[in-house]
Amino acid sequence: MLSTASINRSPEELIFFDLEHYVYKKPKCIGVFGACIFEKNKLYVTQYMIENKREVIQILDLAKRYFIKMKKKGKKAIVTFSGNNDYTVINYLFKKYGIEFNFSREFEDIDIQREYEKEMGHSIGLKNLEKDFSIFREGEVISGSNLAKTFSKILMDKDYILRMPKEKIETILVYNEQDVTNLYNIYMLWNAYLKKEEEIDENEELEEESSINEVEEIDNVVSN
């Protein structure tokens, strides 16, 4: 489980959160709101997907209600991966449509990408981090640009969602679901992963020292 000097939360206290959104110069909409919580040894996923332009505000209202409900249930922190992007979008849209909610006041912020950078000294994408954790996705990976095109069409054409193949809608929802549930998996496997990385580093150092010693021994033999 992820645990640092500043982070000490059980999974039952957390919301694992991810948005699929559409931005063109400025944020236009939340395409899919995704979140999951861990209770009674189970993950519970909540998703809202936009179906037309009229639902832009509706999804924002649902998002606010969700977080208020989770606060009342005792959730203390929100876990994201590079969450600044999602917070920028949702806060912009909240302000645009007059919806009041202050994330920093209501919840602690746990950004897994930020914690990774602190530990490893470099950045990494979510999909590559999943591979490092031996987490393998179900369904196909969707690019952000393809998602943006889909949400753009949904906003421009109120009947577009009705013409979308059900398989495409399911693919988008599964993709988002994997994002939030894998945040939980990474959070829970975090310390075991760091320990494994430390052991790999130690082994590499020992191998390097051994190689240096072998070279020195060869040099001594040659000199003699």
Q: Which CATH architecture has domain 11-191?
A: 2-Layer Sandwich (3.30)
Cα(223)–Cα(75) distance, integer angstroms: 69
What's the pLDDT score for residue 224?
59
What pLDDT was estimated at residue 209? 55
Mean pLDDT value across residues 70-80: 98
pLDDT tens digit string along 18-39?
A: 999 999 999 999 999 999 999 9
Minimal CA–CA distance to 152: which of 27, 17, 63, 34?
27
Average pLDDT over residues 123-147: 90
Query: Would you list the domain boundaries of the chain?
Result: 11-191
CA angle at 181 for the pair 135 and 113, rounded to the nearest 5°:
75
pTM over 0.85: yes
* Res 213: pLDDT: 59
Give long-range contacts, CB 8 A cutoff, 24+ apart: 94-101: 94/60, 94/64, 97/56, 97/57, 97/60, 99/57, 99/60, 99/61, 99/64, 101/64, 101/67, 101/68
What's the burial of 109, exposed, middle or buried (CB within 10 Å: 0-12/13-18/19+)?
A: middle
Q: pLDDT digits over 143-190, tens only?
A: 888 999 999 999 999 999 999 999 999 999 999 999 999 999 999 999
> What pLDDT is stored for residue 218 in this prediction?
62
